[in-house]
Amino acid sequence: MIISKYLDGLNKSQKEAVESTEGPLLVLAGAGTGKTKVLTSKIAHLISLRKASPSNILAVTFTNKAAREMKYRIGQSLGSMVEGMPWLGTFHSIGAKILRIHAELAGLKSDFTILDTDDQLRLIKQIIKSENIDEKRWPPKLLLGYIDTFKNKGLMPTEITYNQDYQFANRKASELYGLYQNRLSILNSADFGDLLLLSLNLLKRNTDILNKYQNIFLYILVDEYQDTNVAQYLWLRLLSQKNSNIACVGDDDQSIYGWRGAEVDNILRFESDYPGAKIVKLEENYRSTEKILGAASGLISYNKDRLGKTLIANIKDEGEEVHIRSVWDAENEARLVTDEIEAKQSKGAKLEDIAILVRASFQMREFEDRFIMSGIPYRVIGGPRFYERQEIKDAISYIQVVSNSNNDLKLERIINIPRRGIGNSTLQALNKIARSNNISLFLAAKQIIETDEIRGQTKIKLANFINSIELWKDAKSSSHHTDLVKRILDESGYTEMWQNDKSPTASGRLENLKELIGQIDGFDSIDGFLDHVSLVMELESDTSAEKVSLMTLHSAKGLEFENIFLPGWEDGLFPNQRSLDEKGNSGLEEERRLAHVGVTRAKKSLWITYALNRRVYGLWQQSIPSRFIDEIPEEYKDFDAEYINTNNYYQQERQSKYKNFDAGYTKNNNNYQKESQFTREATGTKIPAWKRIKKNNSVTINAEFQEINIKRKTNFIEGQRVFHEKFGYGKIIDINQLKLEIDFEKSGIKTVLESYVKIH
């Protein structure tokens, strides 16, 4: 009979969890123990026992991808009997669905628009202005952050008490929040947070509607319960109040969204919230080999604030050690990973079984470039590819306009980013002149500012902008190209725009911009860089189904792969310095949980790499291997000589720099920040002997890097005939570190990067 199919193979505890369908149930268990499998099997069980039809089950997953996967698996276990589960999805997608049905009760129409952050901000700015609040003193982004926090806590404007309010323009945050909600309603719009908040509020205020949904949702199932925020928690409590058939699964060691308002306490107080709740522990891990599991358990044991759980490997295979490798820099890191992927491929591994998980999205760029050049298809999960990111496209557009100011499309993109008061009507006027005179927008703008076609502020603003472009163009021949790019991004106000942005994505965007500048530094001219970009863009559109996955650690939650690569395990990058600075020890513990999530994604093979040098904003900095590497027990690690050499030194360094968080952390924070800046610009004694190179105080790390780099072995010799992917065949005329000057047969003399050149 079909029923037994999905129960077969479940262990005793899993079966118990699946079969206890009535009443509250909590499965609190470690990674890879089958929590998600329990949920999927439970849904199959409920449907095949006819306890509920698919449309009477509310199942909350963490991502849309997870929802699709779950649907597929349920279909498989039931022999594709399942016809659609309308209530299986993320909190936001289900919230939006409920809100559309009852939009009128929330002051909206059912076709309301969902706003993005840009729109939200524009609206907040308008409100701040109309309230005569000084925008400089009280930045709109700050208010946006506060409003998000209110929403995460499930608070409508009228529900905010004096103590909960924020110091914004004389404690006006909640009042402004109210005005903002009114405006949204007038515009028939909702922001992302509203999708849940308004549907929660709707259920709170309308017992008939609450009743209706309590009767629809006969069974409620929630994955990744440790990462629910207060609003989500309250929403679930309301919906499950009537019959209490709620099954939540989670792992306190994988709570990684504290920064976005998630409250791990939700999982810890489940028993008191639902008296008589059944608690099931799962202790067998079915995902990873013993060594990977040992590494993960050893690492997470350094966290003090945890329940502590046993994990036993079901897979009776010791497996490989966790491979720890040091690399010179990010470029070598990408090369090492790519080489290893190719080696695995030649042994029969499939690309879809391989994933690279990074701490910060800027790290992806180096991998994307390498994959593109090596012809390895890849996909970026949970976000755009590097060159498709908004901030990267904007920055490149600026560079392109300076390189060729007649590039209309790019000029149009940046003419009012950041907002400089050049609106649509001006743009239309420019387009009209450009078309009728058959000239570019830039030339049209140059002409229009000489005339009286436009007046007042608009004219001044446009003239200033055109003038800036002219200045940057002039500087092209006289200043270093990297400095020029920095200057463009600064003087245009673009960098500042993101610096003032208080939304959660802003700091990542600034990091991406820094990465871009670092990358540009590797080329010897702006045009060389732009050539590279066009080549990369061209090659990117490949359609093969088999791809390596590239994503952040945050978006890897719940997923698993045969082979995992974890690059950039360096103190400062991972654990992330900002988390440490802002939240001290609890920040460190959240970072460690994130590391634990990364390690536990791997089934068979795990590679952790760290670069000895990382370029931050065009400047080389030496880095210290992440303390998390040290925390993985020796018996599960395989490391290279470099690591052994340096680890003692690093231990001392880490201790002196970071380990005093608990005691008076906040007080010392300022001093500490200053100190860490100094150690970065290290004096001779702070540089380990193996790295010490003849130096005096005036030699910076950057110069040191150059010095070492010159000694790097190159495979090329002058006069050699070589092949370059873009420029074809040519002869090397000069070798300068990583760069080769080549006289190409078709395209003349160009300077290119060694890594893109093959010997022929």
Q: Which is nearer to Mg ion, 224 or 321 (CB)?
A: 224
Binding status of residue 549 toward ligand ATP by CB under 6 A: no
Choose the stretch contacting Mg ion; rule: CB under 5 A; options: 18-26, 28-36, 471-479, 751-759: 28-36
Instruction: Report if residue 30 touches Mg ion, rule: CB under 5 A.
Output: no
| End-to-end alpha carbon distance in the chain | 64
Q: Binding ligand ATP by CB under 6 A: which of 17, 24, 28, 35?
A: 35
- Quote the least distance from Cβ 286 to ligand ATP, whole Å: 3
Query: What is the gyration radius of the CA atoms in the chain, in angstroms?
Result: 28
CB of 88 to Mg ion, least distance (A): 15
Q: Would you say 36 or 482 has its CB closer to ligand ATP?
A: 36
List the interface residues with ligand ATP, window 227-266 (CB under 6 A): 251, 254
Q: How far is the CB of 595 from ligand ATP (least distance, A)?
A: 14
| CA 324 and chain centroid, separation | 23
Only segment of 27-35, 52-60, 238-246, 300-308 that touches ligand ATP (CB under 6 A): 27-35
10 near ligand ATP (CB under 6 A): yes
- 3-state DSSP helix/strand/coil percent for the chain, to nearest 5? 55, 15, 30
Query: For residues 70 and 533, which CB has a smaller minimum distance to Mg ion in the complex?
Result: 70
* 36 is an interface residue for Mg ion by CB under 5 A: yes
CB neighbours of residue 151 within 10 Å: 25
CA distance 148 to 104: 23
DSSP symbol at 615: E
SS (H, E, C) 487-555: HHHHHCCHHHHHHCCCCCCHHHHHHHHHHHHHHHHCCCCHHHHHHHHHHHHHHHCCCCCCCEEEEECHH
C-alpha distances in angstroms, 34 versus 28, 39, 287, 619?
Answer: 11, 9, 9, 45
- Detail the DSSP E strand segments found in 640-716: none
Residue 377 Cβ, how far from ligand ATP at the closest point, in Å? 24
Name which of 286 and 387 has its Cβ closer to ligand ATP.
Answer: 286
- The DSSP bridge pattern shows strands 728-736 and 721-724 to be antiparallel
By C-beta, is 35 or 42 nearer to Mg ion?
Answer: 35
x-or-dash string of contact with ligand ATP, 560-579, rule CB under 6 A? x-------------------
Q: How far is the CB of 216 from ligand ATP (least distance, A)?
A: 26
Cβ proximity to ligand ATP, 310 vs 451, nearer residue: 310
Q: What is d(CA 352, CA 348) in angstroms, rounded to the nearest whole number?
A: 12
Contact status: 34 vs Mg ion (CB under 5 A): no
State in angstroms the smallest separation of the CB of 608 from ligand ATP.
18
The residues carrying an active-site annotation are 35-36, 223-224, 254, 601
By CB under 5 A, what part of segment 553-572 binds Mg ion? 558
Candidates 32-40, 302-310, 401-409, 485-493; binding stretch for ligand ATP (CB under 6 A): 32-40
Q: Is position 37 an interface residue for ligand ATP (rule: CB under 6 A)?
A: yes
Task: Indicate if the alpha-carbon torsion angle 519, 523, 528, 534 is positive or negative.
Answer: negative
Local structure of 605: helix, strand or coil: strand
Least distance from C-beta 372 to ligand ATP, angstroms? 30
Query: Beta strand 739-744 with 322-327: parallel, antiparallel or unpaired?
Result: unpaired
Quick one: which of 2, 3, 9, 582 contacts ligand ATP (CB under 6 A)? 9
Beta partners for residue 189, in sequence order: 113
C-beta of 11 vs 374, nearer to ligand ATP: 11
Q: Which residues contact 265 (CB under 8 A, 6 or more apart)?
A: none
Residue type, 160: I
Q: What is the Cα–Cα distance from 511 to 383, expressed in whole angstroms?
A: 15
Of 13, 24, 36, 91, the one binding ligand ATP (CB under 6 A) is 36
Q: Which one of ligand ATP, Mg ion, none interacts with residue 539, CB within 5 to 8 A by kind?
A: none
State the pairing for strand pair 561-566/354-358.
parallel
For Mg ion, which stretch binds (CB under 5 A), given 36-44, 147-155, 458-466, 533-541? 36-44
How many residues sit in the footprint of ligand ATP (CB under 6 A)?
18
Determine the Cα–Cα distance for residues 322 and 606; give it in Å rounded to an integer.
Answer: 5
CB closer to ligand ATP out of 14 and 181? 14
What's the token pair of residue 407? 């590039």
Binding segment for ligand ATP (CB under 6 A), chosen from 31-39, 266-274, 586-594, 691-699, is: 31-39
Q: Is 11 in the site for ligand ATP (CB under 6 A)?
A: yes
Closest-CA residue to 649 (of 636, 677, 630): 630
Q: Is 349 in the site for ligand ATP (CB under 6 A)?
A: no
Which of 18, 533 has the CB closer to ligand ATP? 18
Instruction: Give the range of 30-38, 53-61, 132-140, 390-398 binding ligand ATP by CB under 6 A.
Output: 30-38
Torsion sign, CA atoms 428, 430, 431, 436? positive
CA–CA gap between residue 12 and residue 354 (Å, rounded): 31
Taking CB under 6 A as the criterion, the residue among 17, 26, 33, 512 binding ligand ATP is: 33
Least distance to ligand ATP from the beta carbon of 374, Å? 29
CB of 223 to Mg ion, least distance (A): 6
Query: 698-711: string of b/e by CB count within 10 Å (b at 16+)?
Result: eeebeebbeeeeee
- Which of the residues 287 through 316 are near ligand ATP (CB under 6 A)? 287
Longest dimension (CA), the chain: 84
Among 24, 26, 32, 604, interactor with ligand ATP by CB under 6 A: 32
Distance of closest approach, residue 381 Cβ to ligand ATP, in angstroms: 15
Place of tokens 């079915």: 286
Q: Which does 33 bind (CB under 5 to 8 A by kind): ligand ATP, Mg ion, none?
A: ligand ATP
By CB under 5 A, which span of 182-190, 550-558, 619-627, 654-662 interacts with Mg ion? 550-558
Q: Which stretch binds ligand ATP (CB under 6 A): 7-15, 134-142, 146-154, 504-512?
A: 7-15
Least CB distance to ligand ATP at residue 390 (A): 31
Among the listed residues 653, 677, 662, 561, the one whose alpha carbon sits nearest the alpha carbon of residue 288: 561
Residue by residue, what is the 3-state secondary structure of 400-462? HHHHCCCCHHHHHHHCCCCCCCCCHHHHHHHHHHHHHHCCCHHHHHHHHCCCCCCCHHHHHHH
11 vs 21, beta carbon nearer ligand ATP: 11
> Does residue 286 bind ligand ATP (CB under 6 A)?
yes
Residue 252 · residue 267 · CB < 8 Å: yes
Bridge pairing between strands 322-327 and 284-285: unpaired
Residues at the site binding ligand ATP, with contacts judged by CB under 6 A: 9-11, 14, 31-37, 251, 254, 286-287, 558, 560, 600
Residues at the site binding Mg ion, with contacts judged by CB under 5 A: 35-36, 558
